[in-house]
Every structure is written in C-alpha cells, then in structure tokens.
Structure 1
Amino acid sequence: MKRPSGKISARIRGLLGRLAFITWITACWTLAFYLVELSGWQPVPLIEHLVTTLLGFFLFWLTFLIVARFVSNRRLEVFQTIHDALRRIANGDFKVEISLPEQWDDSDRFNHLVQGINDMAADLGKMEIMRQEFISNVSHEIQSPLTSISGFASALKDQSLPPAQRKHYLDIIEEESLRLSRLSENMLKLASLDSDQHPFYPESVRLDRQLRHAVLSLEPLWSHKNQEISVILDPLEAEVDDDLLHQVWINLLHNAVKFTPEGGSISVKLHRSGEEAVIAIENSGAGIPEESLPFLFDRFYKVDRARTREGGGSGLGLSISRKIMQIHGGRIEAISIAGVSTVMTVTMPLHLAGGE
C-alpha cells in the first residue's frame, strides 16, 4: 500500500521541480529584458535580442552558482554530521541520533541512510548493555567459587587440621571446581547455539520414550526427596535433534525436582495439538513470583540466588533450553501460582519447516 503513494509523491515532486525550473528561466529572461529596456540603449532588434538572451543566460548561471553553493554547503554539513556520528560509533559511543535539517530538499534521499545509522547505533547500544551485564554476571558467578577454592585451599595448609575437617574442605573444593566446570560448559554450549553453527542432526524420535527416559534418569534425585511423579504421555513421533532435545527435558525436570519440596509432586504430560506436540511439566512448591516470570529465561537470572547457589545452578539452563527450542521452531512458556505450582509448557512442531 505504501509504494503507490510513494510513486505519486515522487511524480508530484518531479512536476513541481520542472515548474520551478521553467519559472526560474522565465524570471531570468524577464529580468534581462527589463534591464536592457531600462538601460535606454536602443540597438537594432537582432542585437537587442542577442544581448537580452546572453544577459538571461548570465543571470541564470549567476543564480545557479549561488543556489548550488548554498545547497553544497548544506550537503557538506549533513555529510559532516554523518561522518561525526559514524566516528563516535566506531569509538564506542552509541548514544548517537542524527537529525536532518528541516525543509531540506534532499532529505528524502538521506532519510533511509540516517534512519539506518540511528537504528544501528540503538542496536549497538543495546548489545553493549547486554555485553556489560554478561561480563558482570560471569564475573560474579566465577568469583564466588574461586573465592571458596582459594579460601579452603589456604586453610588446608594448616597441618593441625583434623582429618574429618580436612576432608570436608576438600569436598567443598571439589564441589566448587565442578560448579566452575559446569558453568564453563554451559557458557560454551550457549555460545555455540547462539552462533547458529551448532551441529543439528534431526531424526525421527518418539517423544514419549525420550521423556520417560529423562524422568527415569533423574530417579535418584526425586526418589531421595520422596516426590511423587505422574507421567501421562501420548505416543508421539517428531523430527528433532535427540541429544539437544534431551538436554531440554533434563534441564526442565531437574529444575522441577530441585524446587519441589520434600514429599511434593511432579507431573509430566505429553499430547498432540494439531501439528504440534505440547509438553507440560508441573511441580508443586513455592512457585515463581509474578514479577520474575518475564525474566525467567534471561541468562544468569535466578529467582532465588541463595537457593539456586545451594543447588549449584548457574542461571543458564533455561536460556539454553529456550535456545534449543527456538532451533526446533518451538517455544517454552512458564505459568506459576505462588505457593501452589509452576508449569513449564513446551510447544513444538512435529515436523521441521520444509519437511513432509
């Protein structure tokens, strides 16, 4: 709908430009005629006509130079503004917004360029904020286990420590080392997924069997907490990357077990909705505060930092799960009722785009 109006506008501008040009020439020749008449000089008609014509050309050339100089200066100002903005962006200053002079004849020609630069600066600014937050979060996550390792390693130098306490310190060092290893592994995995170059090997997989296998692999965790597991899975087959999708189920189920209290309940359901599979993993417990739901899948976000630290979480599991689902063309949503339950719902196509 926008293109026809754009063409009409261009035609109107072209017509107005031609009218202005004709008016300009007419004005120059009219002025030349009156200048000759006012001079009192009365040559033969041919000479008078030639002089009037030459004077008209001279006036047209003179006014053209004046207008061209004025327009050129304004263009140079615009180009200088764009150049300064690009230099600021190159130096890391993304608070750049270029505005063209009002009522500038060539504004339409530069609007797309200027808007593109402004959008680029805004996007780079957002990326810079995300980069700084990422570095801050990574530094925080790494600093805590390093402090523990350093502190307990220093304490182990005390030769008078009893064997039981020494073993306790060594266990803590081992646990914190494993935590660092998991953090590093998750960061590398997330970076690989973000690069869009992560290996992706789709194959036909029975989702019900895959989910049941994931539940059984975590049996030591939920049985240790005397949790009740309910599994209702319709037989469904989908085109997925088996290893990647298995990681999603492990992440979601591990969170459900971790945040379900002793003796609580967890349910896993799978059913078909049109050409999509819907998986709902629900767990009883304290739930997730409503204000935390919008940030739940952000990297390093933790609803309860103290509790997740005890469980060894890094705040990357849900981010990885969401990215994997995006690769599969699916999505993850969270619904929670404080003090009652939390439901993580995964919706994904049974067939990848372009498939049968």
Structure 2
Amino acid sequence: MSLTLVSSLDVFSRQKACAALAAEQPGALVVFHDLLEGGLVVRRMFREGVRLVHGESTLEHPCLSCAVRLDLVPTVGRLLKSGTNIIVGLPPAVAAETAVHALLRGLGDAVTIDSVVLACAPDALEDQIWDHHTLFESGFTPVPEDERTPGEFLMRELCFTDTVMLADPALVPVEPEARVRGVQLIRELAPHAVLAESDGDVCTGVHNLADATARTMPGSVQAAPEPSAPFATVVHRVERPLHPERFRHALATLAEACCWLRGRLWVASAPDCRIAVQGIGPRVWLENTGPWQASRKSLPFVSNMPGAGLEEWHPEYGDRGTIVAFTGDDLDAAEIADLLNACELTEAEMAASEDSFPDPFGLNQTTETSERSSS
C-alpha cells in the first residue's frame, strides 16, 4: 500500500496529475477534497474512473487546516484499513506540509507517506510567482483571511515536495515558449524534485520529511544548483554584521532582480538575533527566528545545525554571518556582491555598540516580523 499526496493551486492541474498517477497504479483509490464557501467540504472517491463516494460536511470554522484535520485525516485513516494504494488530491492552496503533519499527528505510525507531489501548469508559473494578489483575491481559495500570495504557496510547495507534476489544464491553451521557460524555472527552484509529465510514464520521488523540513526552514540556503538557462542562482556571504540602514536601501535593488531570494542575516541593530529574509515575487519579508547558536551560551556550539543549510562555523563569530541566495534570470553576481559587501560594517563601526545603529526593520524582538513590498 502506498499513500501519495497531491497539492495544487487549481482543481484542473490537480485532476490531471491524479489521473496520471492513478494510471500507474491500477486499483488505486483517488480521493479529492474540496473546501467551498461557507465551510462546505466536498469529498469524492474514485477507482478506475468510477465514482464510489460523494460526501459533504460543513465545518464550524471554515479554514483549510480544519478541512485537513477534521475531514481528510479521518478519511485516510479509514482507507488505510483497505490496504489499497491511495492518492489524495488536497484542496487547492492547501500546503502539503500542513497535510503531512496533520496525518502524522492524527494517525501516527499507521501512515507512511510515499510521495508528495505538486501539480502545476509550467506556462503559468512565473506569472503566478509575481502575482501580488492574495490567494483569495486570485480565486484560489474561498478563505478571505488567507493572505498568502500564489507565489508564496508555490515556492513553499516547490521546496517541500519531492515531485513536480507538469499538468497543463485541458481547458486552457498552453503557451509553448512560456511552458519551456516554466520548466527551466522549476529545475532552478526545485533541483531536488523529480519532474514528471502528466502525459506518458510517471515517475515520482520519495518523501523524506527531514529533508523537506530542512529545505523549508526559515533562513535555510541550499547549495546552488547547476544553472537552468536562462535562470541561475547566486549565493553570497558576508562575514561581518550588516549596517541596517545601508542594507535597507540595498534590499529593494536586490529583490527586484530576482523571483526568489532567501537566507539569513546578521544585522548590527540586532546582533544576537538570526534574521531570516525571504522574497518571493513582489513580496519581501524579514523574520527574527531567535538567537544564533553561538549566542546560546547554555548550549554547546554546533557546527552542523540540522536544516540550517550551507552552515559554516567561524572561529570568532560561530554561526553568525550573512548568507543570501538569489534566483532569477539575467542576474549580475558582481553587482549583488558589491551591494551586499557595501552593507558590511567597517572596522570603526565594528567597535560601536548595537545601540549606535538604527533599527529600521524593528526586528530586535523575537516575536516581530517586518514585511514590505519591493514593487
């Protein structure tokens, strides 16, 4: 028995991906969950293209996580007893990570997740990453409170999933050039993932929760993949703390040149705090993720922190330091290096106290997040 989860932004890509997966697993049960307006959850179950079940229930609190916890988890729990392969099409915009953790909490050792698949239309990917609307405003979810953008959803799925299924919706004409460009972008954003076409033989990756969690950890920077022209990834390190005002001015320029930036910052106004930075399309935000490992005096220094990615231990600074990765097309590595290096504290500034520096991001608090738009 195997369990495969399929996440997506839209029902059309999801349906095509699930059909392709089912064709490779004769007799598998395909279960679709959908959350509609008013908290209505619709559950449909198919085998060999024949509908077996159509069920509905209404949630008291209509949100995506409740749909997963209160409907999807019990459904999978019941189906596990059948011993057949199960393919679950998650409600559009439900994060696979949410479903995985809910299943593990609710079912424990009874469930093993074999593969986690993102179904997407590659010709629409780049536009969706740069969409400044929320998921609700773009019509991908019935939940008005969901303030994620399509790009935020897709980028996290690309990091978390082990397989990307290229599933062009049948009702929408495909733009060939945009599709080729979208596939190249996927290879650059998710080099760990298996790429599978929904037409033809389907091969999926293998889910590893530890690896998936490491890739999605705030501040994580993985090794740069081989460039997938015209896209490339540039990774740059800065050893000393950043001057907060100089970095604030540089950030807009750094963000506008790429579709995805991520990393961790050592900022002079909050020197003991590990600041995660992420930019996806038009949105850029900073988050204080707590103290550096070297600042936790009650704990031993650890040079290989799980999930940290590209972690190095400096003889004087420990794990403190700045490392940022930029992914986009037509990136100028020298310009990126010059902009970040110019933010580094000088020898004279290194001798000043942290109170000497402004805190434009308001991040010298472990619970605060600063968000801004680069557009």
Instruction: Give the TM-score band, short-chain normalised.
Output: under 0.3
Q: Per residue, is there more helix in 1 or in 2?
A: 1
TM-score, normalized by length of structure 1?
A: 0.21
Q: Per residue, is there more strand in 1 or in 2?
A: 2
| Bigger RCO (CA 8 Å, 6+ sep) | 2
TM-score, normalized by length of structure 2?
A: 0.20
